[in-house]
């Protein structure tokens, strides 16, 4: 788990987690609201599809072993996942166009790791982890 981890967030707060939304959640909200222009929708669809084929879905979002436990982990990219981060930056441009300023968070301590693969970790944040 050593190394830097990167997460992109907008200022909108997720009601369930109380933490800032990630890029995909913010994009999904724009899509659901019908706010994306046709070329933005096309770009989003292409990038989303790219991630479906090039990034595994984490198998866990909680340290709890109880059934139906609340998913509290956040996804962070390893800074070595440069192609994935570049694709996210394409979505950041769309979010910015819609007035959603995006911040890039960087940390070596994303939290308690509940999932890890070559490109990302899912971690339950420590109390002092910026989210």
Element (H, E) at 85: helix 82-97
pLDDT per residue as tens, the chain (131 positions): 469 999 999 999 988 888 999 999 999 999 999 999 999 999 999 999 999 999 998 876 766 566 665 667 899 999 999 999 999 999 999 999 999 999 999 999 999 999 999 999 999 999 999 99
Closest CA to 79 of 45, 113, 106, 100: 106
Would you say 85 and 35 are in contact if contact means Cβ atoms under 8 Å apart?
no
Write down the pLDDT at residue 57: 87
User: Can you name the residues that pair with 92 across neighbouring β-strands?
Assistant: none
Write down the pLDDT at residue 65: 63
CA–CA distance, 103 with 46 (Å, rounded to integer)? 23
Instruction: Compute and round to an integer the Cα radius of gyration of the chain.
Output: 15
């Amino acid at each position: 788990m050593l190394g830097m981890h990167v997460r992109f967030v907008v200022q909108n707060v997720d009601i369930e987690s109380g933490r800032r939304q990630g890029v995909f959640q913010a994009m999904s909200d724009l899509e659901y609201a019908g706010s994306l222009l046709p070329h933005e929708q096309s770009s989003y669809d292409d990038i989303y599809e790219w991630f479906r084929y090039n990034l595994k879905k984490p198998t866990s979002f909680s340290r709890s072993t109880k059934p139906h436990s609340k998913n509290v982990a956040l996804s962070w990219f390893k800074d070595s996942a440069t192609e994935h981060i570049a694709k996210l930056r394409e979505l950041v441009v769309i979010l910015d166009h819609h007035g959603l300023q995006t911040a890039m968070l960087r940390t070596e301590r994303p939290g308690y790791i509940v999932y890890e693969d070559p490109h990302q970790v899912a971690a339950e944040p420590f109390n002092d982890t910026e989210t």
